[in-house]
Amino acid sequence: MPSALALAAHPDDIEFVMAGTLLLLRDAGWSIHVMNISNGNMGSTVMTAAQTASTRRKEAQASAKLMDAKWHAPICNDLSIFYTEENIRRICSVVRAARPTVVLTHALSDYMEDHMITARLAVTATFARGIPNYRSTPQRTPALEPCVIYHAMPHGQCTPLREPVKPELFVDTTSVHAVKRAALACHASQKEWLDKTQGQESYLTTMDGFSRALGKQTKKFEHAEGWTRHLHYGFGAENDDPLREVLGRRVLRR
């Protein structure tokens, strides 16, 4: 069966802006994979880094189980996601294992460096997936099938310079929003962290607001996620767009 891989920076990032589309692909018969590059060890004001990483690992695994997704272990600490050869090789190994037709990742311009560097790592690791002479860590068989990378909406739906961002595609996630919300609720430790550090009050309400704002832009969907395709060179054909092909009327192209 075809597969989709979500590559995000921190535990709960996938659930905030990507999980609805993943769940729709799962319901269409795809296998789905999730990987947070960071273990989320800095995401608490009351636990130690080690305690936080352990807690967030369990939360991420619970969310993946709820979504019927294959979970891949993180490889970095928070604020230590860097564009390095080692990280590219390790992420490339996950891409080759998942053999995705679709890779979902962050916007290349987002509110924090961990997100933006994760997007760059995802692009390069996916580009390298089919290069026979490129050794991943651990080494896996190169995957030559076409793959489309879709970039999610940045948090706040604007660039770091407050410029509004409009997606290329809107995906109607209304039918799976309750499951998406339940998956985000698995990350219970983040309520304390986000309330104290970013003033988001309830992180579940914040996610609801993001998806409703996108849905409102469509004048058609109640909840939506937004996506923009990466340039096709090195990945597939110019017109490849598996989200539109598979999800049909659930996708609106602006």
CATH of the domain at 128: 3.40.50.10320
What pLDDT shows up at residue 201?
55
> What pLDDT, on the 0 to 100 scale, is given for residue 246?
98
Answer whether 84's CB lies under 8 Å from 124's CB: no
The domain in which residue 33 lies consists of 3-253
Name the domain count of the chain: 1
Question: In order along the chain (254 residues), what is the average pLDDT of each group of 10 residues?
Answer: 97 97 98 98 91 96 98 98 98 98 98 97 98 98 96 95 97 98 92 64 86 97 98 97 98 93
